[in-house]
Amino acid sequence: MTKLKKFVIYFFVTYFTFTNICLSAFEINARTAILQDYLSGEILYEKDTQRSIYPASMTKIMTSIVVFDLLKSGDLDLDDKVMVSENAWRLSQSGYSSMFIMVGDEVTIEELLKGIIVASGNDACVALAEGVAGSEEEFAIMMNSKASEIGMYNSNFTNASGINDPDNFSTVEDILLMSNYLIKNYPNYYEYFKEKTFTWDRTGGDPITQGNRNPLLYKNFGADGIKTGYLAVEKYSLASSIKKGERRLIAVGSGFDTKNSRSRQSKKLLTWGLTNFDTIQIAKTNSELSKLQVWLGKKNEVQVYVKEDIYKTIPKARKKNLKAYIEYNGPIIAPIKKNQIVGTLKILYKNEIIKEHKVYALEDIKKLNVISRVIKSINYLIWGDV
């Protein structure tokens, strides 16, 4: 009775395993770099991505994530205040980028976060770490625990700011993972990263306003984050992101020779990704993907879905090699339970399967009563009608 059915839901789109198509004609002047399409997860460009780097102030992305986790769990509140120690204050007097907090200041969590994210204040990092964990060393343990959870297996954090320490290291691949996690899990707090200025009403002086260190925020091409870095041994680095419509790209580069090079090359990388590739949605989480035929059920078709958003990033102007269809043994015999696996969504390139996703019933389908089943079976025997 049952036979294999194939239901095509998309036809020719394009080939997406494309990394080598454009690499020979495109190069970034950095020691190491990576570019990802956020929705599909596709890596569009990579250059020595597992090379160990000193992340410098890009470390502050993880500092922020640890605090965002505590805000989410309710262990912290943005209005909670932290007392500034002499240890934290000393960093504002040593030539590093600073928020310019003073010993004994009571500063809110939100003010410290903005001091870290916008002004890149190393003093704010120490104050926040001490306020949250008691010491910067204990806070670093929390950072490394989070890094392990995210999958940053080639990273180690020893402080909250990224100041010189040979044991504070990472890779652009890991920084990308961290940046992706931040944007996906904390979209509201991520808004801090696009703020261009932060004003701190400091003790013992006029309010001080500082601009965001991220040069791409001032280029007016859609950049909305995330964090710069600089150490003499590493030179210049930048984790950056751009959003156009629903599409987002994330780039990380390190080993840029100059500030100008960091800005120009990062913009070049993001622009290249936008202009050479498109992102297509194949399926949407928990939404009807299609309908499959049902045998001996109270309905002749069952709505089906997948449990994750499925996107593919493709080179522009190529729409003939990628296709997708649902494969299932059908008609599917009733009864059918909601969330029952009923088929497989297969994505192919040149008739070669490159990705598969389980397909689930979106509804219950009850079995017909005995009389109706007999009539339907007779019809099938006579007419071949299901």
Could you tell me if 64 and 122 lie in one domain?
yes
Could you tell me if 11 and 34 lie in one domain?
no
Contact 215, 262 (CB under 8 A): yes
Could you tell me if 335 and 197 lie in one domain?
no
**Is position 120 annotated as part of the catalytic site?**
yes
Q: What are phi and psi of 335, to 5 degrees?
A: -80, 155
Could you tell me if 211 and 335 lie in one domain?
no
Could you tell me if 237 and 338 lie in one domain?
no
More confident call, 96 vs 41: 41
Could you tell me if 11 and 50 lie in one domain?
no
Q: Quick check: is 185 in a domain?
A: yes
Whichever domain contains 289, its CATH number is 2.60.410.10
**13 pLDDT tier (thresholds 50, 70, 90):** very low
pLDDT digits (tens, 9 = 90+) for 154-213: 999 999 999 989 999 999 999 999 999 999 999 999 999 999 999 999 888 899 999 999
Residue of 40, 64, 97, 120 marked catalytic? 120
Whichever domain contains 246, its CATH number is 3.40.710.10
Q: Quick check: is 23 in a domain?
A: no
Q: Quick check: is 212 in a domain?
A: yes
Could you tell me if 63 and 174 lie in one domain?
yes
Q: Quick check: is 25 in a domain?
A: no
Could you tell me if 317 and 213 lie in one domain?
no
Contact 356, 344 (CB under 8 A): yes
Q: Quick check: is 274 in a domain?
A: no
Beta strands 341-349 and 332-333, pairing class: unpaired
Contact 335, 366 (CB under 8 A): yes
- Average of pLDDT values for 314-333? 82
Q: Quick check: is 361 in a domain?
A: yes
Domain count along the chain: 2
Q: Which domain holds residue 91?
A: 30-256
Q: How far apart are CA 357 and CA 289, in angstroms?
A: 12
**318 pLDDT tier (thresholds 50, 70, 90):** low
Could you tell me if 164 and 241 lie in one domain?
yes
Could you tell me if 9 and 111 lie in one domain?
no
What are the structure tokens assigned to 205, written together? 């002086």
**25 pLDDT tier (thresholds 50, 70, 90):** confident
Residue of 40, 57, 64, 155 marked catalytic? 57
Q: Quick check: is 21 in a domain?
A: no
Could you tell me if 11 and 60 lie in one domain?
no
pLDDT digits (tens, 9 = 90+) for 340-379: 999 999 988 677 888 899 999 999 999 887 666 556 666 6
Q: Quick check: is 24 in a domain?
A: no
Residue of 60, 267, 312, 323 marked catalytic? 60
Could you tell me if 216 and 342 lie in one domain?
no
Which of 256, 290, 308 marks a domain boundary?
A: 256
Contact 28, 270 (CB under 8 A): no
**Is position 60 annotated as part of the catalytic site?**
yes
